[in-house]
Structures are given as structure tokens and as C-alpha cells.
């Protein structure tokens, strides 16, 4: 995979207040618009690490994911912002942050809109989210966008939540993932086992090493990126309990 591009934010455009971490649209020195995920938000840099690891793995597996970039943020950009909460967030996020390419005109996916994804695609996304333990793809918050008649995966900061634990228990990676029962695409999904047969062989140790190497040290806060390689390799060991669990949930 290619290294993530590094750019600099040049203009704070507007906050996106529907996000719990208060992301914002910014303009960068390449004249592009990006959704900026702040390192100073509630979950800290680990949420940005999860965005990179899960997002780049999804891209490598063929899913549509907006380009991720590393964005340098100068706290001076917050001076013109009247909201003190946003000012504080910008100051706390000085330095390296994460940018997600802004998709103009995209619409949030809603199961109530009557637009159903292909069953095979739905199964592949359910499988992927179970692999990376993404708790944030529910009917209340699908984190899916419709853009140019394609389904785009966004907002993976809540994935890989094992890294927030103060103490990690050996074998955590082998645990089941009950949250998959709430996945927004589960009612549309074809066989999760068939999706597993297609996707699991693509998640090679070499791919995981490349993805882990793409995470900048500035965001790792002393964490060894190999913990993500080990966690995901552990998830893929047979028997893959998360696949069996997702299949049972689908059949209910």
C-alpha cells in the first residue's frame, strides 16, 4: 500500500456537530476539502489509529473508503472560531491529525430509504466489521455513505476497541463479538461464511504489517503497532468464532 499523504490544514470551514467527537470540514494546502478527525477529541489519538488500521484494511479488501490523509493542524486556525469548545479542541489537537476526503453530495445510507445493498456486499461488510470489532455500524448510526451509486465505508474510530483497555487479557482477540447482532446490514446479508471464505485469505501477515507501518508514531503514543497485527491475526485463527456468531445472528 502507498503511504498516507501528509498535508496541512489551511482553513477551518465548519464543524460537523452530528459527530460525537466534533469533527470538522477543513481546507488543506492541496486545495481539497477534508473531514478532519481531531487527536484532541474524547477518545484521543487511538481513535485515529483505529481509523487508519480499519480504513486501510477495508480499502485493501476492495471496499470503497474515502482517502485518508495525515493533516498537520496549526492551532492558529481556531482564533476566528467563536465557539470556545471548538477553540479548545483545535488547540488540543495541534500537530498531526487525520483527514478523510470529503465526498460532496453524498447521502447517509438509511435502511428506511428503501435502497438495499447487494446481499454479497452486505455480507462482506458485516464480516469486515466483525473482524475489526467495529461497534459503530448500527441502524442509528450506519456510518455508510451513498456516493456515485456506491456504498462508502466511513468512521472506523470505534473499531479495535481492545486498545482502550488499561490491561489487556491474553486471548482477547479470540472473543466473540455480540455487537454484530445490531449491524445495520445484517438483515440484507448473504452468507457470512461465504464472505469469510473470500476475504480471510486476503488478510495476509504481509498486508497487516504494511498497514501497521502506515500508522505514524506521533499517533501511537508509545504503543507498538505490532499489537494490531497480532490482534487481527488472532481474530483470523481457526475456528473463527466471530464468523459463526455473525452467521447465527443473520439466520435469526
pLDDT at 221: 87
Domain boundary among 101, 126, 152: 101
Do 31 and 45 fall into the same domain? yes
Kindly indicate the confidence band of residue 2, based on its pLDDT and cuts at 50, 70 and 90: confident
- Do 61 and 169 share a domain, yes or no? no
Task: Tell whether the model's pLDDT for residue 91 goes beyond 90.
Answer: yes
Domain boundary residue, one of 101, 129, 146: 101
Predicted confidence at residue 167, as pLDDT, reads 83
80 against 36, higher pLDDT? 36
> What value does the mean pLDDT take over residues 16-43?
90
Split into its structural domains, the chain has a count of 2
131 and 247 housed in the same domain: yes
Q: Do 66 and 145 lie in a common domain?
A: no
Sorting pLDDT into bands at 50, 70 and 90, what band is 20? Answer: low
Same domain, residue pair 37 and 133: no
Residue 185 has pLDDT above 90, yes or no: yes
Does 118 share its domain with 91?
no
Please say if the pLDDT value at position 241 is more than 70: yes
pLDDT at res. 19: 58
Span 131-170, pLDDT tens digits: 999 999 999 999 999 999 999 999 999 999 999 988 888 8
Give the per-residue pLDDT at 169: 81
Q: Is the pLDDT of residue 114 over 90?
A: no
Distance of CA 151 to the CA centre of its chain: 14
Can you tell me the distance from the alpha carbon of 22 to that of 31, in angstroms, rounded to the nearest whole number?
22
Residue 18 has a pLDDT of 67
pTM for the whole thing?
Answer: 0.96
Point out the domain boundary residue: 55, 79, 101: 101
Residue 26, pLDDT > 70, answer yes
Whole-number Å distance between alpha carbons of 136 and 102 = 20
pLDDT at 108 > cutoff 70? yes
Which pLDDT value is given to residue 184?
97
Q: Given this model, what pLDDT does residue 81 score?
A: 81
Let me know whether 214 and 96 are in one domain. no
Do residues 164 and 60 share a domain? Answer: no
Residue, of 20 and 103, whose pLDDT is higher: 103
**Judgement on whether residues 117 and 14 belong to the same structural domain of the protein:** no
| Cis peptide preceding 239, ω within 30 of 0 | yes
- Residues 89, 132, single domain; the answer is no
125 and 236 in a common domain: yes
Q: Which of 240, 97, 103 is nearest to 177 (CA)?
A: 240
State whether 10 and 129 are in the same domain: no
Return the percentage of the chain with pLDDT > 70, whole number: 99
Domain containing residue 90: 5-101
Is residue 116 scored above 90 in pLDDT? no
Output 168 or 104, whichever has higher pLDDT: 104
**Range among 14-23, 63-72, 112-121 rated most confident:** 63-72
Amino acid at each position: 500500500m502507498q503511504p498516507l499523504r501528509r498535508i496541512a490544514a489551511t482553513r477551518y470551514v465548519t464543524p460537523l456537530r452530528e459527530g460525537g467527537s466534533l469533527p470538522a470540514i477543513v481546507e488543506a494546502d492541496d486545495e481539497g476539502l477534508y473531514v478532519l478527525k481531531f487527536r484532541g477529541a474524547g477518545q484521543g489519538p487511538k481513535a485515529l489509529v483505529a481509523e487508519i488500521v480499519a480504513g486501510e484494511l477495508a480499502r485493501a479488501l476492495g471496499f470503497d473508503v474515502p482517502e485518508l490523509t495525515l493533516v498537520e493542524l496549526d492551532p492558529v486556525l481556531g482564533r476566528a472560531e467563536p465557539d470556545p469548545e471548538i477553540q479548545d479542541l483545535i488547540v488540543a489537537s495541534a500537530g498531526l491529525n487525520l483527514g478523510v476526503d470529503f465526498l460532496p453530495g453524498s447521502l447517509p445510507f438509511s435502511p428506511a430509504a428503501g435502497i438495499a445493498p447487494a446481499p454479497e456486499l452486505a455480507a462482506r461488510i458485516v464480516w469486515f466489521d466483525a473482524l475489526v470489532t467495529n461497534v459503530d455500524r448500527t441502524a442509528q448510526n450506519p456510518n455508510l455513505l451513498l456516493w456515485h451509486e456506491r456504498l462508502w465505508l466511513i468512521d472506523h474510530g470505534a473499531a479495535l476497541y481492545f486498545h482502550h483497555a488499561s490491561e489487556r487479557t491474553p486471548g482477547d482477540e479470540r472473543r466473540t463479538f455480540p455487537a454484530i447482532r445490531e449491524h445495520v446490514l445484517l438483515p440484507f446479508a448473504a452468507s457470512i461464511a461465504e464472505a469469510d471464505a473470500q476475504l480471510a485469505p486476503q488478510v495476509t501477515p504481509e498486508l497487516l504489517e504494511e498497514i501497521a507501518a502506515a500508522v505514524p508514531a506521533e499517533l501511537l503514543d508509545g504503543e507498538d503497532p505490532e499489537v494490531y497485527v497480532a490482534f487481527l491475526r488472532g481474530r483470523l485463527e481457526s475456528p473463527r468464532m466471530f464468523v459463526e456468531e455473525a452467521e447465527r445472528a443473520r439466520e435469526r
